Amino acid sequence: MSEILVCEAGALADGATRIVYEGDLEIGVVRHAGQYYAYRNYCPHQGGPACEGIKMPAVRTLIDDKGLYTGQTFDESDMRIVCPWHGYEYHLTTGVNVCDARIRLKKFDVIERDGSVYVKT
């Protein structure tokens, strides 16, 4: 296994993504709430650059105690990666598709060491 240098710790802004390369392999590294997540930049649906899509919280429907719709809100505890080609959504923390758990992004370990951030391939 090898390690790819991503950046110095703290150099990637919260919510930002950086694409790193090892040969033909593209890996998207996302920083969210002080944590780093790394996935192959390849959507299993049709090969789109999944990590280059927007990151957004899940949309939750609000239902009152009578079962009536009262609106929608964002759930910041469930951030998603949205593939820019066809809108497939993946949970940021796991890489699992939100509609079909059999579909997932390939996840890589992220290591913080000596003031730098690395992806383990």
Summarize pLDDT for 72-90 with one digit per residue, the tens.
999 999 999 999 999 999 9
Provide mean pLDDT across the span 57-77: 96
Domain coordinates of the chain in residue numbers?
3-120
CB 79 within 8 A of CB 3: no
Share of residues in the chain with pLDDT > 90 (%):
98
Share of residues in the chain with pLDDT > 70 (%):
100
pLDDT at 36 over 80: yes
Q: How far apart are CA 58 and CA 108, in angstroms?
A: 23
Q: How far apart are CA 5 and CA 118, in angstroms?
A: 5
User: Right CATH number for 3-120 from 3.30.160.270, 2.102.10.10, 1.20.1250.20, 2.40.30.110?
Assistant: 2.102.10.10
Mapped onto helix, strand or coil, the DSSP state of residue 67 is: coil
Q: How far apart are CA 12 and CA 14, in angstroms?
A: 7
pLDDT confidence of residue 1: 75
